[in-house]
Amino acid sequence: MGRGLSGAVQLSHFFLQERLKPGDRVVDATCGNGYDTLLLAQLVGPEGRVWAFDVQEKALAATEERLAEAGFGTRVALVHGGHERLAEVVTEQVRAVVFNLGFLPGAPRETVTTPETTIAALEQAAALLLPGGIITVAVYRGHPGGAAEGDAVDFWAAALSPGRFNVWRCRQGNRSEAAPYLIVVERFPA
């Protein structure tokens, strides 16, 4: 039996599947083990383009392997660098930017997303969004530094203009307040 929309990542995939079309340009801001990148590459198809960022070579290698297995390697540019360099690397507008915050599962936890770089990247992501484009942010508050980062993301999202963006904060009503949640930012469609 499946678990459906059991977490923030599953919910982000639900929104991405609704919004993305073949040929779209999109960004995975934290590619990690490559699960989100794989979905993005599948949704944008052979004419689309994905930029996938991570600061850890180990993460990029795992993502590269996953993409190669699926035959999607050529539609993805792997970027070994921080997502705070987003606008330097991606110079065209995009339909989606995906953030899955925290640390790489199965790796030492020293390398973790931080409020300063996450907010810098979110600012750039919002500026790169096409009309109707979305940013998804899976937020984890449980690890050291996670609550401060979550607060920073919530504060950033709450300050976005209601005349330009829809902002949703989605958390499960039957889970603890500490459970991961999803922020979805949609630029108003044209």
Ligand X SMILES: C[S@@+](CC[C@H](N)C(=O)[O-])C[C@H]1O[C@@H](n2cnc3c(N)ncnc32)[C@H](O)[C@@H]1O
Residues at the site binding ligand X, with contacts judged by CB under 6 A = 30-36, 53-56, 59, 82-84, 100, 102-104, 111, 113, 117
Distance CA 151, CA 164 (A): 22
Quote the CA–CA distance of 24 and 43 in Å, as a whole number. 8
By C-beta, is 24 or 140 nearer to ligand X? 140
φ, ψ for residue 97, nearest 5 deg: -130, 125
CB of 86 to ligand X, least distance (A): 9
C-beta of 24 vs 84, nearer to ligand X: 84
* Burial of 115: CB neighbours in 10 Å, binned 0-12, 13-18, 19+: middle
| Least spacing, CB of residue 55 vs ligand X, in Å | 4
Nearest to 102 by CA among 187, 43, 23, 36: 36
Instruction: In angstroms, give the least distance from the CB of 29 to ligand X.
Output: 6
Between 87 and 188, CB nearer to ligand X: 87
Residue 35 has a CB neighbour count (10 Å cut-off) of 17
Q: How far is the CB of 73 from ligand X (least distance, A)?
A: 16
Indicate the residue whose CB is closest to ligand X.
32
Residue closer to ligand X by CB (options 33, 124) is 33
